[in-house]
Amino acid sequence: MNKKESRQRAIIDLIESRDISTQEELCFLLQEAGFTATQATVSRDIRELSLSKMPSDESGQKYVRIRMTESDMDEKYARVLRDGYVAMDKAQSLLVLKTVSGMAMAVAASIDAMHLKEVSGCIAGDDTIMIAVKDAGAVDGLMERIKDIVQ
């Protein structure tokens, strides 16, 4: 295992064992564990590991890794969508989805991972997701699919 793989394995171990809410905190913990890690390195690792932030009772938010096996993947994605969903509205060929504060990135990642045929992609903020729909005529159908999932 090379340095990068070892560091990324350590990141996964750290976020699974404690609530880590900032890149700076993750850098410090990696350095304590003997890894050389700058904020830029940790930022790249977070992106490559597809980490997201989710609400946490202790620190407000924490980094998480959404891991899916083939057998339970769809249900876990649907659960993330259900847990974060607040409301949605359409705007021509866009679907605007409101989420619980801090969950937009995780919900958007779940929607992307569902590979819904109507969806071109998602852009997430803190509590809002802009979903680009391939065809304006498909927005209503996508809204119905999402309603079915969240209910």
Mean pLDDT of the chain: 88
Low-confidence ranges of the chain (pLDDT < 70): 58-59, 66-73
Other Cβ atoms within 10 Å of 59 Cβ, number: 13
List, in order, residues 6 or more apart from 92 with CB less than 8 Å away.
136, 139
41-73 pLDDT, tens digit each: 999 999 888 888 888 776 688 888 866 444 456
Class of domain 73-150: alpha beta
Distances (CA, A) of 43 to 17, 26, 34, 147: 19, 10, 18, 34
Domain ranges of the chain: 3-65, 73-150
Distances (CA, A) of 4 to 44, 46, 52, 74, 105: 11, 12, 19, 30, 25
> What pLDDT sits at residue 127?
96
Fold category of 3-65 in CATH: Arc Repressor Mutant, subunit A (1.10.10)
Distances (CA, A) of 100 to 2, 133, 143: 38, 22, 18
37's torsion region: left (phi>0), alpha (psi -120 to 50) or beta? Answer: beta
Other Cβ atoms within 10 Å of 69 Cβ, number: 7
Buried b / exposed e over 70-106, threshold 16 CB at 10 Å, is eeeeeeebbebbebbbeebeeeebebebbbbebbbbb
> What pLDDT sits at residue 49?
86
> What pLDDT sits at residue 47?
86
Distance CA 1, CA 29 (A): 20
